[in-house]
Amino acid sequence: MRNLNVTVICSQDEVLLLCPLSVDVHQIEEAHVKRFKFLLFVTVLAGFAALGYAGYGDGKAAYDKGDFAAAFKEFQASATLGDAESQYFLGLMYDKGQGVAEDKAEATTWYRKAADQGYAKAQCSMGDAYRTGKGVQQDYGEALKYYRKAADQGDADAQYNLGNMYGEGHGVAQDYAEAVKWCRKAADQGDPLAQTSLGWAYANGNGVPQDYVQAHMWFSLALAQDYSEAQKGMDEIAGKMTPAQTAEAQRLAKEWLPKSRE
């Protein structure tokens, strides 16, 4: 042990005392080494993150252009470095067979990695996988879990799917009110499938009081986005409404504005 003698001047009753202290120099050196290692670790992590994001940007640009071979290469590299967005898109490409042979199991492997990092789109995709049994064994309970994680982050697709799970009683007791609650969140963001489901809820009085004006409004909003399935609902209620009710529904649809994610 190497000791460093340090002289400290202490004041006691106005008398100066010399107080020799013994300090372990090795302890000081070890503390500096630990700090250096920590800073180096943080720097390396930051470097990997930067590389991952750069790879994602190049991959997304190629993907948007339809160059799936180049996109797959970039996403694969940055996904391996841990970039969640790249992991999601790599899963998507395996899921759809874009730039690589379709492989549902491999798709869920990458979706799961991104989902575990809290990436909402990947969580929703894991919900889809468990709901349909594609790439994993069908499990409504797991589907519900992943949908809820994404829905809580405001993902409209997950909110709509979570609403459907409650409406159909898959993995949870059937609850129309809860179904309406989640479908409304997605519909408020402009999701046409959720808007159509909400229209049917109002048309049939499931989870909400029956209201043809509200039903007409939601069907109209979905139709405005070319979602043709909403036409069935519109045809169903057309003969049950007065001209005044139809005019009111049209006014509401015209004034409607999407809400932010919740």
pLDDT, tens digit, 9 for 90 and up, residues 73-93 = 999 999 999 999 999 999 999
Amino acid 35: pLDDT:
57
**Widest distance between CA atoms in the chain:** 104
What pLDDT is stored for residue 55 in this prediction? 82
Q: Is the pLDDT of residue 235 over 50?
A: yes
For the ranges 163-177, 192-206, 226-240, 247-261, which has the lowest average pLDDT?
Answer: 247-261
What is the number of other CB atoms lying within 10 angstroms of the CB of residue 199? Answer: 29
> What is the tens place of the pLDDT at every residue in 137-192?
999 999 999 999 999 999 999 999 999 999 999 999 999 999 999 999 999 999 99
d(CA 91, CA 107): 4
Confidence check: pLDDT of 261 > 90: no
Which pLDDT tens digit goes with each residue over 38-74? 433 334 343 444 444 568 999 999 999 999 999 999 9
- Average the pLDDT over each of 5-14, 214-223, 233-242 and give the range with the smallest value: 5-14
pLDDT higher than threshold 60 for residue 17: no
98 phi/psi in degrees, rounded to 5: -100, 110
pLDDT, position 120: 98
Share of the chain above pLDDT 90, in %: 77
- pLDDT value for 26: 58
Give me the pLDDT at residue 181, please: 98
Terminal Cα-to-Cα distance of the chain (whole angstroms)? 61
pTM over 0.85: no
Q: What is the pLDDT of residues 100-137, one digit of tens each?
A: 999 999 999 999 999 999 999 999 999 999 999 999 99
Question: 213 pLDDT band (50/70/90 cuts)?
Answer: very high
Between CA 249 and CA 241 the distance in angstroms is 10
Task: List C-alpha distances in Å: 140 to 158, 168, 262.
Answer: 14, 11, 24
Structure-token pair, residue 28: 């000081």
* Chain centre to alpha carbon of residue 61: 21
Residue 246 tokens, joined: 């139809």
